[in-house]
């Protein structure tokens, strides 16, 4: 109904309610001592005018900007985007606005953004990146929380996805299906996401005395490599012969989708002959794959939310230290379950 006119100031509300500006402030902030009737009258006047206190003026008094920076090293890509959104979502609840700053892997741009955020006197900064590999910390005079990409300084507050738990869940799931001849296909060999997931899978299987089939295969994060890796795993296997594996765990949904495609090309049934798992729960891959992928949802929005919580606590004088693990969630679908 009432639309936001030009600009409504506290004096306008005061005039309408027939009180002074200071009374309006007390009424709207639940401070001071006022008659309930007055409070209500002011509230109604503010509502009617669509009054929203000027953030600049407020931060003048509060000595805070009620703003945090979201610094994305990445161009807010597939991984940092959910984190950023989760964080923004959590901040809105705390009446805090989010300044977006994307650096696109350029240190100069990043430095520029950092300066800009400092100039804006943000109350804190959330730093996100493209990979789970540790990154160089930033130097600023306000609290910082690192999300997804942890800081190299273990004293800094970081939140990272618990890949170990995620891949362990995959391992247990495969064992529960009776699969014991499992191969692992990773992405780039120099990235934590590849190596950590491999280690977690190997360790989980080892608890039941099961060892991975062959060496872990590392390559790149593409469907293409997923297809190639399947060829490497199957070797010169031809239809009818016994298969060297009964499950393949891929380190990403993209790899797994490529893998499924190749398995189907070669006449291997998924999941009857070989169970397949992915990682990331990236819908356009996991759901479009034939069959749909059993995978791990790293719940990056929750991770971003958690980072925001830690940042708000730090701004509030209760800083956290060290790296926190954000829990993933196993999602079972047709590539292991049999039913669609």
How many whole angstroms separate alpha carbon 338 and alpha carbon 340?
6
Considering only residues 36-75, where is the footprint of DNA by CB under 7 A? Answer: 37-38, 51, 53-54, 56-58, 60-63
Binding mask 140-169 for a copy of itself (x = CB under 8 A): xx----------------------------
**Contacting a copy of itself (CB under 8 A), which of 258, 271, 278, 298?**
258
Alpha helices in the chain (DSSP H): 10-17, 21-29, 36-49, 55-62, 80-93, 107-119, 163-176, 192-207, 223-234, 253-265, 283-286, 300-315, 334-337
β pairing state of 329-331 and 295-297: antiparallel
Residue 92, binding choice from DNA, a copy of itself, none, Cβ under 5 to 8 Å by partner class: a copy of itself
Least distance from C-beta 98 to a copy of itself, angstroms?
5
The C-alpha atoms of residue 298 and residue 293 are separated, in whole angstroms, by: 15
Alpha helices in 266-333 (DSSP H): 283-286, 300-315
Compute the distance between CA of residue 163 and CA of residue 171 in angstroms, rounded to an integer.
12
Return the one option of a copy of itself, DNA, none that residue 2 interacts with (CB less than 5 to 8 A, by type): none
Q: Is 11 in the site for a copy of itself (CB under 8 A)?
A: no
CB atoms within 10 A of CB 240: 6
- CB nearer DNA, residue 96 or residue 127: 96
Cβ–Cβ under 8 Å, residues 212 and 174: no
Binding partner of 29, given a copy of itself, DNA, none, CB within 5-8 angstroms per partner class: DNA
Under the criterion CB under 8 A, does residue 4 sit at the interface with a copy of itself?
yes
Identify the CA nearest to 163 among candidates 171, 155, 175: 171
Contact mark string toward DNA, 165..204, x via CB under 7 A: ----------------------------------------
Handedness of CA 147, 152, 157, 159 (dihedral sign): positive
Q: Which residues bind a copy of itself (CB under 8 A)?
A: 3-7, 50, 52-56, 59-60, 65, 67, 70, 75-76, 81, 84-85, 88-89, 92, 97-102, 109, 112-116, 118-121, 139-141, 222-224, 254, 258, 284-285, 288
């Amino acid at each position: 109904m009432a639309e936001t006119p030009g600009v409504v100031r506290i004096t306008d509300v005061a005039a309408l309610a027939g009180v002074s500006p200071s009374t309006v402030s007390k009424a709207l902030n639940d401070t001071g001592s006022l008659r309930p009737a007055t409070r209500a009258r002011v509230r109604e006047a503010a509502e009617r005018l669509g009054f929203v206190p000027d953030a600049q003026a407020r931060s003048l008094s509060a000595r805070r900007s009620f703003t945090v920076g979201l610094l994305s090293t990445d161009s807010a890509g597939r991984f940092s985007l959910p984190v950023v959104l989760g964080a923004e979502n959590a901040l809105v609840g705390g009446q805090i606005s989010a300044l977006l700053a994307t650096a696109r892997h350029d240190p100069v741009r990043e430095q520029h953004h950092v300066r800009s955020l400092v100039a804006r006197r943000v109350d804190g900064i959330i730093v996100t990146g493209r990979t789970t590999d540790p990154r160089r910390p930033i130097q600023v005079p306000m609290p910082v929380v690192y999300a997804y990409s942890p800081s190299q300084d273990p004293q800094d507050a970081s939140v990272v996805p618990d890949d170990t738990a995620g891949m362990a869940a995959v391992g247990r799931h495969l064992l529960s299906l009776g699969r014991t001849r499992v191969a692992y296909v990773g992405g780039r060999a120099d990235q934590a996401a590849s190596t950590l997931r491999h280690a977690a899978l190997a360790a989980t299987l080892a608890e039941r005395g099961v060892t991975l089939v062959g060496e872990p295969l590392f390559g790149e994060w593409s469907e293409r490599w997923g297809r190639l890796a399947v060829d490497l795993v199957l070797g010169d296997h031809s239809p009818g012969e016994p298969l060297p594996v009964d499950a393949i765990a891929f380190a990403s949904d993209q790899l797994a989708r490529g893998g499924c495609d190749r398995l189907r090309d070669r006449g291997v049934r998924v999941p009857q002959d070989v169970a397949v798992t992915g990682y990331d729960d990236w819908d356009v891959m996991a759901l479009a794959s034939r069959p749909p992928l059993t995978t791990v949802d790293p719940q990056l929005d929750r991770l971003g939310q958690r980072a925001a919580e830690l940042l708000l606590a730090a701004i509030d004088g209760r800083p956290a230290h060290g790296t926190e693990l954000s829990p993933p969630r196993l999602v079972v679908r047709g590539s292991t379950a049999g039913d669609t």
